[in-house]
Structure 1
Amino acid sequence: MFRRLSDRKERSVSFAFNGVPTTAREGDSVAAALLAAGHCITRRTPVSGAARGPYCMMGVCFECLVKIDGRPNRQACMVTVAEDMRIEIQDGAVMPGQEE
């Protein structure tokens, strides 16, 4: 579905998605890094558990919510991927004060 342009030479960044070591290009958003690595699901809905993933890629729709370094409700499209970042699928809604 997505593929990289072959004429770009950016440095790599290592991070973990659901505990699996993954790499991205420096400067990618978390959402772009996940899509480029073949991960299309970033969260599940609170009622039915339906899978959701990045949609608008500009911070409007909130479909790409993930946990980043233990913090829930982060918009993957609005956060730049960083070295050793821990990213996890978010299951359902996490209300303020309910963080793990």
Structure 2
Amino acid sequence: MAKPGYADQGFWVRLVFMAIYWAVLNISLSVFGIALIILTIIRFGSQFEPTSLSGFVASLSNFISQTLSFVCFQTEEKPYPFQPWPNTK
């Protein structure tokens, strides 16, 4: 007979990582929102293309996606810092 999930030590370790990534996700979403507002204001007010800020917003978006996949049990791979920071494509 198979043990339930909570009897597995790996489940508890994952639960701790999920709680940590949940907090990181909330901070990341706040930073993403602020950076997106700044990017919108810059692009609205001028013809200047802030490529470094655009790249950061895109890579942060990829990080948020990876974190959500981990927290929602879609993948077992932990996002950054256990993987390289996601690049923009």
Is the pair's TM-score, using the shorter chain for normalization, greater than 0.5? no
More helix by share: 2
Q: Which of structures 1 and 2 has the larger relative contact order (alpha carbons within 8 angstroms, sep 6+)? A: 1
TM, length-normalised to structure 1:
0.27
Bigger Rg, structure 1 or 2: 2
